[in-house]
Amino acid sequence: MRKDKQIAFGSDIYKLIRQARMSEYDRRLAFNATRQAEAFAAAVMWVKEKAAALGNYLLKPSLKH
């Protein structure tokens, strides 16, 4: 995730990672893990929204009967 997006989301986790006393290698691992978690959460939310939209589409014909 880009630095501007990190600030835009108001996420304090990146600030905490920068301030933590750790090696640069561990810091990079923490940033990568956070980015992966955010990407996974975004993918789950996308699937949830698509499933909800599909569910509404499939329920409409049955409501007519």
pTM for the model: 0.63
CB 25 within 8 A of CB 16: no
Which pLDDT does position 53 carry in this prediction?
81
Characterize 31-40 residue by residue with b for buried, 16 or more Cβ atoms within 10 angstroms of its Cβ, and e for exposed: beebeeebee
Which pLDDT does position 5 carry in this prediction?
56
Which pLDDT does position 14 carry in this prediction?
87
Q: Give how far the C-alpha of residue 22 lies from the chain's centroid of Cα atoms, to the nearest Å.
A: 25
pLDDT per residue as tens digits for the range 2-61: 555 545 555 688 889 999 999 999 999 999 999 999 999 999 999 999 888 887 666 665
Structure letter (DSSP) for residue 12 = S
